[in-house]
Amino acid sequence: MLAKYQKLSLGAKFTLILLGIFVVGMTIGGIVIYQLAQQVAERSITNRSEAMLDTMNAVRTYTSTHVNPELADRLMTEAEFIPETVPAYSARTVFETFRQQENYAHYSYKEATLNPTNPQDRADQFESDLVSQFHADDSLDEITGYREIDGERVYFIAHPMRVTSETCLNCHGSPENAPPSLLNTYGDQNGFGWQLGEIVAAQVIYVPAGDVLNGTRQVFFAAMGIFTVIFGVAIIMLNRLLRPTVLTPIATISALAEQLGRGNDETREITLSELSARGDEVGSMARVFQRMAENVRKRERELKSEVQQLRVVIDQEKRQREVEQIADTDYFRTLQSKAAQLRERLNNPPTSGD
Ligand code: HEC
């Protein structure tokens, strides 16, 4: 494995290292980003739900301050109950209108009450716990989280619901004071005996966990997409930059080294002048290498001329020795003595008649 890695080119090594960082970074980053994305998605749904709950409460207030007083007399006299006088009714009706928009299609709304007028509003075990938590802590004004309803996981946003005004007690106080038409419709058993200021219900919005998940995925993939693009560009850019700044210079320098090693053919000289002008580490390496190459060449030239001189000396000595060898032979000596005799004879020619 390591041996294979060592054999890779610099560019491939860098890419591999960056890919490693990318994989590790994306794994760790992915976990963190996923959690952040989930928080963002939950926050966005919570914000939306809070706005809805505020709207719902505004509608409730409008009903009890504007609609109910107009119809209160008719409630006491007519046999038929008028649901439009009930804040809870207007809130539910407005919510149904909300749900017709695609954004809110999966949302559901419940005024989960411990002692409800309408049994459909009865708090289940989980919701009763929420009400208890609001009872226990007066400053608590929101609980969010996940739960299961009929096997489906849902995200919830719950606010405490108080009996805010005396008018509520017209219908939720004691059955004796309640409009007869209300008693006709709902009976005299449930939704009575509430106190002013009491927290009677948890106002809850439910959203399928799938909606949160979709939001989470959107944020998650957007963030991961951006990271991937940044990493991808970084890897490509690094490879692009590596070529002119490191890879090509190293190739040039090693080609020059090889040329020097082969004993140099100066006609096809590789110059480092462009590289050595650079201010970075490659530049200083090129300068050092240039100086070294010059020294090597100079020394080589000196060596050559020394060898030349040496050869001349050797040639002279060789000739000398050859001469001496020739002079040393018997043949040469006889020749010499013959020459001497000849010279003798020439110098002292024999007198005639001798
Ligand atoms: C005109 C009578 C009337 C008045 C006034 C009234 N309510 Fe109600 N309320 C009802 C009726 C009837 C229901 C049941 C509606 C339904 O069918 O869901 C109800 C439902 C509720 C619910 C849902 C739980 C349940 O009992 O079914 C809450 C919570 C509630 N009312 C709180 C209040 C508060 C707080 C006020 C004062 C701001 C108030 N109501 C004023 C008649 C009234």
Q: Which of 84, 134, 171, 174 to mutate to test the pocket of ligand 1 (most atoms within 8 A of CB)?
A: 171
Rounded mean pLDDT, 228-245: 90
Of the CA atoms within 13 Å of residue 217, those in its CB half-sphere come to 6
Asked if pLDDT for residue 254 goes beyond 90, the answer is: no
**pLDDT reading at 267 higher than 80:** no
Cα 253 to Cα 231: distance, rounded to the nearest angstrom: 31
Tens of pLDDT, residues 272-319: 888 888 888 888 988 898 888 888 888 988 999 999 999 999 999 999
pLDDT of 334 > 50? The answer is: yes
- Per-residue pLDDT for 213 more than 50? yes
Residues lining ligand 1, Cβ inside 6 A:
64, 68, 75, 85-89, 111, 113, 116-118, 121, 161, 163-165, 167-168, 170-172, 182, 186, 191, 200-201
Cβ count within 10 A of residue 208: 16
Q: What percent of the chain has pLDDT over 70?
A: 97
State mean pLDDT over 322-345.
90
- The per-residue pLDDT for 89 is 96
Question: For ligand 1, atom 21, which residue shows the shortest CA distance?
Answer: 88
Protein residue whose Cα sits closest to atom 39 of ligand 1: 168
Per-residue pLDDT, averaged over 22-43, amounts to 94
Residue with tokens 């979709």: 214
CA–CA separation, 3 and 11 (whole Å): 17
Distance CA 291, CA 276 (A): 10
Task: Indicate the average pLDDT of the chain.
Answer: 91
Cβ–Cβ under 8 Å, residues 325 and 289:
no
The predicted-structure confidence for 51-88, as pLDDT tens digits, reads as follows 999 999 999 999 999 999 999 899 889 989 999 999 99
Instruction: Identify which of 64, 168, 199 to mutate to test ligand 1's pocket (most ligand atoms within 8 A of the CB).
Output: 168
Is the model more confident about 90 or about 258? 90
Q: What is the pLDDT of residue 269?
A: 62
- For residues 164-170, give the mean pLDDT: 91
Mean pLDDT for 116-136 is 97
For residue 86, the CA-to-ligand 1 centroid distance in Å is: 6
* Cβ-contact 38, 209 below 8 angstroms: no
